[in-house]
Amino acid sequence: MNFSESEESYYLYKEKGYEGEVNFDKWAVPLSVSEKMIFLNDVNLNQNNNHFQVDSFGFSSGTLHHFEVKNLEGDYSIDKGKWISPLGNPVKNPLIQVDKTETLINQLINNHSIPLTVKSHLILINPEFHLYNVPSNLPIVYPAQMNRFRNSLLHNSSKIRNADIRAAEKLLALNIGESNYSSVPKYRFDELRKGMVCPGCGEFYAEFKRVLCCGFCGGKEYSPDAILRSVEEFRFLFPDVRLTTVKIHEWCGIVKDERTIRIVLQKNFIYQKHSQCSYYI
Ligand SMILES: [Zn+2]
């Protein structure tokens, strides 16, 4: 669908944040495979009606590491405690968020008698990030320090103990799931571009054939698999809309013959016959 300018910039911001979290997960692999740390990612918590989200928790040797991951890019600077973006505009100081979250985490674990010491880290993961005029005592890990930081965690942590696992389970039980302020843009069926999308790169297939071939990444996919995947995407986006051959035919866009769609639906779903409108479940 076409985004408004503000939707587009919000979406790009979210995408960038997500990229940062994925890179953080990759960075964290040696800590989990060596059983030095247990990770809980993307945890939504509630302390005294304050909803807050934590990018990543790491449990290790009685310490609860709180990782706030930012994927900021470019040259930032600090001026009288304010963070200034590469374009010279003041931006939200991420350290204030880290502080606030740390306070809430401490209250929460005290209330639930989870005996851990909280250590917060602001992880600036983008290799193209730099910050000028920084006092040295801030809990920031810069891109160039990531490997040394991980080595020191590996070196200073002992193997995970049962107490760490129990603490992680307790905190996981407090996760309230998807936060209610995570917003998905509103969309309607008729507003969305119809077609079939390559699972490898997200681009639309140009043409429907027995084997679909992506003109962008060269990925190949057997057509019934591609139709079935499109059906799953449709069901995910429109859980309340009935699954019919006509609807999926329209959704897939490039499939000429409705019968091709019907065969896939018949094979994978149960036909519900009704006099007015028959559909699949
Ligand atoms: Zn592709």
CB 27 within 8 A of CB 41: no
For residue 268, report the distance from its CA to the centre of ligand 1, in Å: 25
Which tens digits make up the pLDDT trace of 148-200?
999 999 999 999 999 999 999 999 999 987 655 456 778 899 999 999 999 99
For residue 133, report the distance from its CA to the centre of ligand 1, in Å: 43
* Residue 187 burial (10 A CB sphere; 0-12, 13-18, 19+): exposed
| pLDDT score recorded for residue 59 | 96
Per-residue confidence band for 135, with pLDDT thresholds at 50, 70 and 90: confident
CB 40 within 8 A of CB 171: yes
| pLDDT score recorded for residue 235 | 95
| pLDDT score recorded for residue 183 | 66
In the chain, % of residues over pLDDT 90 = 81
Structure tokens at 19: 């990229």
Per-residue confidence band for 33, with pLDDT thresholds at 50, 70 and 90: very high
Which tens digits make up the pLDDT trace of 224-249?
999 999 999 999 999 999 999 999 99
CA separation for the pair 231, 134 (Å, rounded)? 51
- What are the C-alpha distances in Å from 45 to residues 17, 53, 115, 146? 19, 6, 17, 27
In the chain, % of residues over pLDDT 70 = 98
For residue 203, report the distance from its CA to the centre of ligand 1, in Å: 6
CB 126 within 8 A of CB 20: yes
For residue 218, report the distance from its CA to the centre of ligand 1, in Å: 6
| pLDDT score recorded for residue 230 | 97
pLDDT average, residue stretch 192-217: 95
Per-residue confidence band for 2, with pLDDT thresholds at 50, 70 and 90: confident
| pLDDT score recorded for residue 162 | 93
For residue 192, report the distance from its CA to the centre of ligand 1, in Å: 19
For residue 154, report the distance from its CA to the centre of ligand 1, in Å: 38
For residue 67, report the distance from its CA to the centre of ligand 1, in Å: 33
For residue 132, report the distance from its CA to the centre of ligand 1, in Å: 40
pLDDT average, residue stretch 139-150: 95
Average pLDDT over the chain reads: 93
| pLDDT score recorded for residue 223 | 96
| pLDDT score recorded for residue 81 | 85
For residue 128, report the distance from its CA to the centre of ligand 1, in Å: 27
| pLDDT score recorded for residue 167 | 94
5-173: CATH architecture:
3-Layer(aba) Sandwich (3.40)
| pLDDT score recorded for residue 143 | 94
| pLDDT score recorded for residue 184 | 74
Which tens digits make up the pLDDT trace of 250-275?
999 999 999 999 999 999 999 988 88
Domain boundaries, the chain: 5-173, 189-280
| pLDDT score recorded for residue 278 | 87
List the single range of 15-19, 33-37, 180-184, 202-206 with lowest mean pLDDT: 180-184
For residue 202, report the distance from its CA to the centre of ligand 1, in Å: 6
For residue 198, report the distance from its CA to the centre of ligand 1, in Å: 5
| pLDDT score recorded for residue 179 | 54
For residue 236, report the distance from its CA to the centre of ligand 1, in Å: 21
Per-residue confidence band for 13, with pLDDT thresholds at 50, 70 and 90: confident
Does residue 44 register a pLDDT over 70? yes
CA separation for the pair 152, 160 (Å, rounded)? 16
